[in-house]
Amino acid sequence: MATLTENSYAGDWLLDYFSAGYCFEQLTVAQQAGQVGDMESGQVLQLESEGYVECVTGTTADAILVTSIPEADLQAGDVEALCLVRGPAVIDEQEIIIAAAELAGALTALGALTPPILPADVNATYDTQTT
């Protein structure tokens, strides 16, 4: 029997955002003729001349895919997909999809967007104020 795997969802990596109408846009994800497997929600994207593609150099990160795209659709042609393109937004850096070696560069590039997309401070400690 085949092993079942669950897709990635925006709720896995997107922790908070200001406004859907402001932070998200439909972008053209370029055809990926050699695509193996679906392009999952949380995939970091970069803009190339033909459209948005999987980000391979973290410093060129421009957006994060919100809706997964099936392999067959990517192989057939360009696909319009919902993407997070600007903040203010908070993401879980451990759940976005990019090569580990490119993560720091991607976080820097996404943080440089106006307004920024920032990683959550999962190690934050807070003092309780007493009165």
What residues does each domain of the chain span?
10-119
The 10s digit of each residue's pLDDT in 57-76 is 989 999 999 999 999 999 99
The 10s digit of each residue's pLDDT in 81-111 is 999 999 999 999 999 999 999 999 999 999 9
Which of these, 98, 100, 117, lies nearest to 109 by C-alpha position? Answer: 117
Give me the CATH code for the 10-119 domain, please.
2.40.300.10
Rounded-to-integer distance, Cα 113 and Cα 78, Å: 25
Region of 42 please: left (phi>0), alpha (psi -120 to 50) or beta: left
The 10s digit of each residue's pLDDT in 10-49 is 888 999 999 989 999 999 999 987 888 899 999 999 999 9
What is the structure's pLDDT at 36? Answer: 84
